[in-house]
Amino acid sequence: MNSLLVSSAETTPFFSSLPKPFSIPLFRSPNLQLVIYRRSFSVAAVQMNSKEAKLWGGRFEDSVTDAVEKFTESISFDKALYKQDIMGSRAHASMLARQGLISDDDKDSILKGLDEIEKQIERGEFVWRTDREDVHMNIEAALTDLIGEPAKKLHTARSRNDQVCTDFRLWCRDAIDAIVLRIKHLQVKLVKLALKNEGLIVPGYTHLQRAQPVLLQHLILAYVEQLERDASRLLDCRARMNFCPLGACALAGTGLPIDRFMTSEALGFTAPMRNSIDAVSDRDFVLEFLSANSITAVHLSRLGEEWVLWASEEFGFLTPSDSVSTGSSIMPQKKNPDPMELVRGKSARVIGDLVSLLVLCKGLPQAYNRDLQEDKEPVFDSVKTIMGMLEVSAEFAENITFNQERIRKALPAGHLDATTLADYLVKKGIPFRTSHDIVGKAVALCVSRNCQLEDMSLEELKNISTTFDKDVSEFLGVENSIKNFSSYGSTGSECVSSQLDYWVTKLDVSEAEG
């Protein structure tokens, strides 16, 4: 491995932040004139006039034009699959050797070479070349440069079609595992937030109008439930995607005696995919993955919307700490809940990524089409965005305070105990529709007098309905309303306490990191 010494002043402004001078790693290649190593193993290369022959170029007399090469390359983004690509190649080489299609010596050389390439990539020394098109060809060509003839045997009984599908399924599988962990982390933060606010009653809303009183813990746990379904959808998706395309080759399989079950097992798949055409053309797993991400994004956006509203002066129900707030460049008094506004906004990106994939796939004939190269960037973007949304939502949940006094002062407005009062009449034997009408008249009287239901005297209530008795006081006011909720899943204190106990146990909150 050689390197050149170059002054960063001679390079583009992109590199101006690098030390002067800085060392440029070079990967050995006769056609490479100069390589500038850009942070995170991305490179720019200036090619000499003679281009390297393509690994698929046997029948071609002319090289592709520079415009075509630039337009069709995918290495600029699919290098993210390098670890999965090397993993798949290791499994494939081991299978080929066991089936007698390559020698054990060749297998050992391939595995050793792949190990070295992986180390070079992780050290940031590997040169990604656009003339080698994609991650698969870059690694295979580099392997040939490194170990020679044995590397040419690695592509026996496989195609880039089944190779990329295998890599992508492995990458998405890992991404799902990471997202599910982030979901659990946010759930833990929300449960801890609920535990801090025991007994706090807040207005519950429908149509953004005050409806009934609910415990804040109950409202927070609603988001925990939604996130649990999000995790479940992702795990269901993971189970369906966990079938191995490797060995399907271009679309028809192979006449060589390969063992697809061996490679499938080595890569942790449930089994090989049954149909070779489906194996290389299916992108259902991607659509399902991005659909699950989109639903998660919608849930996070709703959480963001609620907290942004509650942080406004009009509500004043919560205050974010300075550590999760931003200010205004012109208005010195402003304290903005920007992270949750961006959570709300970035949900559009995640949904857009799904729509891009749906449109991409909708008109494709069987089997593989080059259009499918466009499936990766939306997936990478969706995963990066949803991971960020989950992380910042957890940070925000950890750094907000609910303004209990402000909430208590705001509670009387809206006659939140009206439905509980109607339930009181039902318990007295009055049909619900009649009870609804009676309480509606009581509310109308309160509106005209600018008072609350609990402010009405028993005599005034009896003037509306003789069914009212002195025990009605036990059903008036938000505290009594909460006490009277008793159905499974309701906002009653005992029920919410039971819900909290369930989540504390399920998420192991006492053991989870803060």
Pairing label, strands 32-38, 271-272: unpaired
Residue indicated by tokens 């407005």: 413
Q: Buried b / exposed e across 154-180, counting CB within 10 Å, b at 16+?
A: bbebbbbbbbbbbbbbbbbbebbeebb
Q: Which of these is catalytic: 7, 17, 40, 207?
A: 207
Q: Is 328 a catalytic residue?
A: yes
Given 3-state DSSP classes, what are the helix, strand and coil percentages for the chain, each rounded to the nearest 5?
A: 60, 10, 30
4 phi-psi bin (left φ>0, alpha ψ -120 to 50, beta other): beta
In this structure, the number of other CB atoms found within 10 A of the CB of residue 112 comes to 13
Could you tell me the two tokens for 377?
Answer: 């960037």
Q: Is 207 a catalytic residue?
A: yes
Task: Please tell me the distance from the alpha carbon of residue 234 to that of residue 180, in angstroms, as a whole number.
Answer: 7
Q: What are phi and psi of 25, to 5 degrees?
A: -65, 140
CA distance 104 to 96: 9
* Residue 495: C-alpha distances to residues 231, 248, 482, 490 (Å): 24, 53, 10, 6
Q: Which two tokens stand for residue 374?
A: 């466009």
d(CA 304, CA 316): 15
Longest dimension (CA), the chain: 101
DSSP characters over 139-168 = HHHHHHHHH-GGGGGTTTT--HHHHHHHHH
The answer to whether the beta carbons of residues 135 and 79 sit under 8 Å apart is yes
Place of tokens 């208005």: 331
| Annotated catalytic residue, options 328, 473, 486, 497 | 328
Catalytic residue ranges: 207, 328
